[in-house]
Structure 1
């Protein structure tokens, strides 16, 4: 059986980069296509592709930031200038941002929960792919993922919601390890009840 120790090591050491510390360059068109293609290679019961992508790059990030700042002003009317400036520059934290949109098809034999989980798997695959390509990546939602006005701006349909925003760029600071669960605390063996 073929074995890829490099893949195992990547999975054991993968760590999200912080969007706040990302810098240029981000993935070029070919690298981004690779990340998206790997993102789309997830378990997908019924071959529904219950997700889609919206890519923000170049000046589109600034234009979307202006919308975020305007909406935030309405959501938080007492927000200070510093916070509004942060909102305006939010998508400038990374060279590329990809919104992963979960889209559920209700009323079919494929459980909605499986469709939602598939979108989550897309996000994780994208993080791993970006890391393998040498980029930093972070999966964020934050307030704008749940705001109805932003949802309309993104063109979300009735059964769509943001699974996450994947920030992609180069890392400017070293990542430190964070505590991970002790397997003994989260793993158990199921045993049948004694008769």
Structure 2
């Protein structure tokens, strides 16, 4: 039987997680990194399709990878602003490690693609929680480069696969400010027969 007493627990750890790109050395590696990545494979996986594909970028490879991302963006946006280029180089080279989030999709499978993508997203969230549980941190970023064919190929992903984004990984700096959190009551409704649930978060929202 589960106790409903509100005590310090793993739940507190989950509630304290926050995204940040204010990261410093070290990043997890070796067995620790493998252990954290293994949490992704505990995500719900309808049909056991195992769509997770993770590409690790460390050391000097980060700068070369940033240049590949910029090249991919320029193939889509030839007049890419220099400010955007500099931001990518700065972010990707400053993060101690990068994890590209590949999704190996099975098109036309009885398991809908949306469920395959949700499995991959759940895996990425497990990684972020795993990082936090071990004292590390991360930020999930994405952009127009995520569906650029040449970059996908260089990451070992096929034309039917997807790139869900990139995790910037490292150890959070000590001066992080806690973000303002939304109120859970705004996002929860209880269903009753004959009634249509409504959410406080939707009030005032343009339809």
TM range (shorter): 0.7 to 0.9
> Considering only aligned residues, what root-mean-square deviation do their CA atoms show, in Å?
2.4
The structure 2 residue matched to 1:13, chosen from 7, 16, 21, is 16
1:95 Cα deviation after fit: 1.3
Unaligned runs of 5+ in 1: none
Q: Give the structure 1 partner of residue 205 of structure 2.
A: none
TM-score by length of 1: 0.85
Q: Give the structure 2 partner of residue 107 of structure 1.
A: 108
Q: Give the structure 2 partner of residue 119 of structure 1.
A: 120
- Equivalent residue pairs, number: 192
1:25 Cα deviation after fit: 1.2
**Take 2:105 and 2:78, find their aligned partners in 1: how far apart are those partners?**
33
Deviation digits for residues 119-177 of structure 1 (CA, Å, limit 9, x no counterpart): 00011000000001111111111332233332232232132111221111012243323
Secondary structure of 2:9's match?
helix
Secondary structure of 2:47's match?
coil
**Take 1:11 and 1:136, find their aligned partners in 2: how far apart are those partners?**
12
**Take 1:80 and 1:107, find their aligned partners in 2: how far apart are those partners?**
38
The worse-fitting range, judged by mean Cα deviation, of 49-58 and 100-109 is: 100-109
Contact 1:69 1:85 in 2 (8 A): no
The worse-fitting range, judged by mean Cα deviation, of 136-145 and 71-80 is: 71-80
Q: Give the structure 1 partner of residue 140 of structure 2.
A: 139
**Take 2:46 and 2:81, find their aligned partners in 1: how far apart are those partners?**
46
Contact 1:72 1:84 in 2 (8 A): no
Contact 2:73 2:144 in 1 (8 A): no
Deviation digits for residues 7-26 of structure 1 (CA, Å, limit 9, x no counterpart): 111111111122xx211111
The worse-fitting range, judged by mean Cα deviation, of 67-76 and 48-57 is: 67-76
1:71 Cα deviation after fit: 3.4
